[in-house]
Each structure stands twice: as structure tokens, then as C-alpha cells.
């Protein structure tokens, strides 16, 4: 199967999913010190995240024009994240989205044109395409990223 160009990988936590928005909620209902310090290790945490503002719009606009993939690093202390990330994508983007989910502890093992990702701790800097650091000055949110992608390609 041939995929359309450009091939774009999208990170989930802090990029497509609003991780910080959920932290207060989970900290307030924590019953132990561990639960308070590591809310992302709780069952249900990943499933309950909200989409980042503009993220779903980006997916809907570019899904047919390019090749979009989720490329997310699993949280190893919370094995539920493997299924919850999949459930999250199916909930918001359906089966089409679910078919584009890749979980990898390294981002530089994949070949593509762009990686949209907020972090730099698992191979983002050695990714062979362009790394657009989500949240940084030039790529601060999805409206900026959508505009730049439109200017380059569409």
C-alpha cells in the first residue's frame, strides 16, 4: 500500500492529548502519596485525557491529504496505557485513527517527513525527518502547525 506524502508522525502525550489539563483532577482524587505523585500511573488516566485544542481539527484537515500516524512512547510503569491509548484514539478518531497507532520507546526508528512531538527524551533529536517541537516558539499550538503545513504543501 502506498501512502500519501508527507508522512507525519504525531506524539500523543502533551501534543495531541492534553496531559497537563488532567493532572489536577487526578491529584485531587489521589488517596496515596504514590497516586498523587504519579497520576499517569493510575488505571484510566490515559483513557480520560482530553484532546489538545485544535488537534482533532488538524487530523480531520490533513488525514486525506497526507499520511498521519500516531507515534507514542508507552509509559512502562502503567501497562494499561497500551490499551487506553488505543481506546482513546478509537473514541475520538474511530477505526481509521486506530489503524494509525504506533507505540515505540524510540521515535528515531521510524522513517518519515515530520515528527510533531513536545519531548526530546526518546530519539526525537535524531529522527531523520524534521522534528517540529510542539509547544516551542515556532510550533506553539495546532493552529500554527496547521498553517505551516498548509503553506508548505497545500
62 vs 133 by CB, closer to Mg ion: 133
- Using the CB atoms, write b or e for 40-73: b if 16+ within 10 Å: bbbeebbeebebbebbeebbebbeeebbbbbbbb
116 vs 149 by CB, closer to Mg ion: 116
Tell me how far, at minimum, the Cβ of 13 lies from Mg ion, in Å. Answer: 4
Confirm if 127 and 10 have CB atoms less than 8 A apart.
no
Q: Partners of 102 in the beta sheet?
A: 71
Rounded-to-integer distance, Cα 14 and Cα 52, Å: 8
Tell me how far, at minimum, the Cβ of 11 lies from Mg ion, in Å. Answer: 4
13 vs 84 by CB, closer to Mg ion: 13
Q: What cell does 95 get?
A: 477505526
Interacting residues toward Mg ion by CB under 5 A:
11, 13-15, 118-119
Tell me how far, at minimum, the Cβ of 14 lies from Mg ion, in Å. Answer: 4
11 vs 84 by CB, closer to Mg ion: 11
Tell me how far, at minimum, the Cβ of 40 lies from Mg ion, in Å. Answer: 11
Confirm if 39 and 27 have CB atoms less than 8 A apart.
yes
62 vs 117 by CB, closer to Mg ion: 117
Q: What cell does 108 get?
A: 528515531
Tell me how far, at minimum, the Cβ of 108 lies from Mg ion, in Å. Answer: 15
Amino acid at each position: 500500500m502506498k501512502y500519501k506524502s508527507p508522512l507525519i508522525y504525531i506524539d500523543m502525550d502533551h501534543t495531541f492529548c492534553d496531559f497537563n489539563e488532567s493532572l489536577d483532577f487526578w491529584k485531587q482524587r489521589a488517596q496515596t502519596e504514590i497516586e498523587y505523585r504519579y497520576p499517569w500511573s493510575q488505571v484510566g488516566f490515559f483513557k480520560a485525557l482530553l484532546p489538545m485544542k485544535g488537534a482533532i481539527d488538524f487530523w480531520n484537515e490533513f488525514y486525506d491529504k497526507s499520511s498521519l500516524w500516531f507515534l507514542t512512547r508507552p509509559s512502562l510503569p502503567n501497562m494499561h496505557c497500551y490499551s487506553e491509548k488505543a481506546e482513546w484514539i478509537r473514541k475520538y478518531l474511530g477505526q481509521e485513527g486506530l489503524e494509525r497507532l504506533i507505540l515505540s520507546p524510540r521515535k528515531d526508528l521510524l522513517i518519515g517527513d515530520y515528527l510533531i512531538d513536545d519531548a526530546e527524551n526518546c530519539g526525537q533529536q535524531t529522527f531523520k525527518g524534521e522534528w517540529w517541537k510542539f509547544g516551542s516558539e515556532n510550533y506553539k499550538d495546532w493552529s500554527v502547525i496547521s498553517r505551516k503545513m498548509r503553506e508548505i504543501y497545500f
